[in-house]
Amino acid sequence: MPGADMENIQGKIVVITGASSGMGAAAARHLAAKGASVVLGARRAERIEALAAEITEPGGKATSVATDVTKRDDVEKLVDTAVQTYGRIDVLINNAGIMPLSPMDRLKVDEWDRMIDVNLKGVLYGIAAALPRMIEQKSGHIINLSSVAGHKVFGGSTVYSATKTGVRIISEGLRQEVAPHNVRVTIISPGAVKTELLDHISEADVREANQDYVGQVGVPAETFARLVAFAISEPEDVGINEILFRPTAQEL
Ligand SMILES: NC(=O)c1ccc[n+]([C@@H]2O[C@H](COP(=O)([O-])OP(=O)(O)OC[C@H]3O[C@@H](n4cnc5c(N)ncnc54)[C@H](OP(=O)(O)O)[C@@H]3O)[C@@H](O)[C@H]2O)c1
CA angle 21, 23, 29 (to 5 degrees): 80
Please identify, by atom number, the ligand 1 atom nearest to the C-alpha of residue 192: 3
pLDDT digits over 18-47, tens only?
999 999 999 999 999 999 999 999 999 999
Alpha carbons 69 and 55: distance in angstroms, whole number? 23
Q: 101 with 210: CB under 8 angstroms?
A: yes
Q: How far is the CA of 97 from the centre of ligand 1 (A)?
A: 4
H/E run at residue 78:
helix 72-86
Average pLDDT score over the chain: 97
pLDDT digits over 59-95, tens only?
999 999 999 999 999 999 999 999 999 999 999 999 9
Domain ranges of the chain: 4-191+220-238
pLDDT digits over 105-121, tens only?
999 999 999 999 999 99
Class of residue 204 by CB neighbours under 10 A (exposed 0-12, middle 13-18, buried 19+): exposed
Alpha carbons 161 and 168: distance in angstroms, whole number? 11
Identify the residue whose C-alpha is closest to ligand 1 atom 14.
22
Write down the pLDDT at residue 6.
55
Please identify, by atom number, the ligand 1 atom nearest to the C-alpha of residue 67: 33
% of the chain residues with pLDDT over 90: 97
Position 131 confidence tier, pLDDT thresholds 50, 70, 90: very high
Those residues whose C-beta lies under 8 Å from the C-beta of residue 170, and which sit 6 or more positions away, are: 120, 123, 124, 127, 144
Our answer to whether residue 125 is catalytic in this structure is no
Query: Would you say the CB of residue 144 lies under 6 angstroms from ligand 1?
Result: no
Q: How far is the CA of 136 from the centre of ligand 1 (A)?
A: 30
Query: Would you say the CB of residue 20 lies under 6 angstroms from ligand 1?
Result: yes
Instruction: Say whether pLDDT at 162 is over 70.
Output: yes
Phi, psi at 37, each rounded to 5°: -95, 125
Q: 243 with 148: CB under 8 angstroms?
A: no
CATH number of 4-191+220-238: 3.40.50.720
Alpha carbons 162 and 119: distance in angstroms, whole number? 10
Q: 93 with 137: CB under 8 angstroms?
A: no
% of the chain residues with pLDDT over 70: 98
pLDDT digits over 92-109, tens only?
999 999 999 999 999 999
Write down the pLDDT at residue 7.
77
Class of residue 173 by CB neighbours under 10 A (exposed 0-12, middle 13-18, buried 19+): exposed
What are the E-state strand segments in 95-218?
140-145, 183-190, 193-194
- In 3-state terms the chain splits into helix, strand, coil percentages (rounded to 5) of 50, 15, 30
Query: Would you say the CB of residue 206 lies under 6 angstroms from ligand 1?
Result: no
Query: Would you say the CB of residue 100 lies under 6 angstroms from ligand 1?
Result: no
Q: In what order do the strands lie in the sheet with 242-245?
A: 61-66, 37-42, 13-17, 91-94, 140-145, 183-190, 242-245
Query: Would you say the CB of residue 178 lies under 6 angstroms from ligand 1?
Result: no
Query: Would you say the CB of residue 18 lies under 6 angstroms from ligand 1?
Result: yes
Rounded to an integer, the average pLDDT of 121-147 is 98
Write down the pLDDT at residue 139.
98
Annotated catalytic residue: which of 86, 125, 160, 213?
160
Instruction: Say whether pLDDT at 237 is over 70.
Output: yes
Rounded to an integer, the average pLDDT of 169-185 is 98
The size of the chain, in residues, is 252
Identify the residue whose C-alpha is closest to ligand 1 atom 43.
18
Query: Would you say the CB of residue 153 lies under 6 angstroms from ligand 1?
Result: no
CA atoms within 13 A on the CB side of 148: 11
Q: How far is the CA of 18 from the centre of ligand 1 (A)?
A: 5
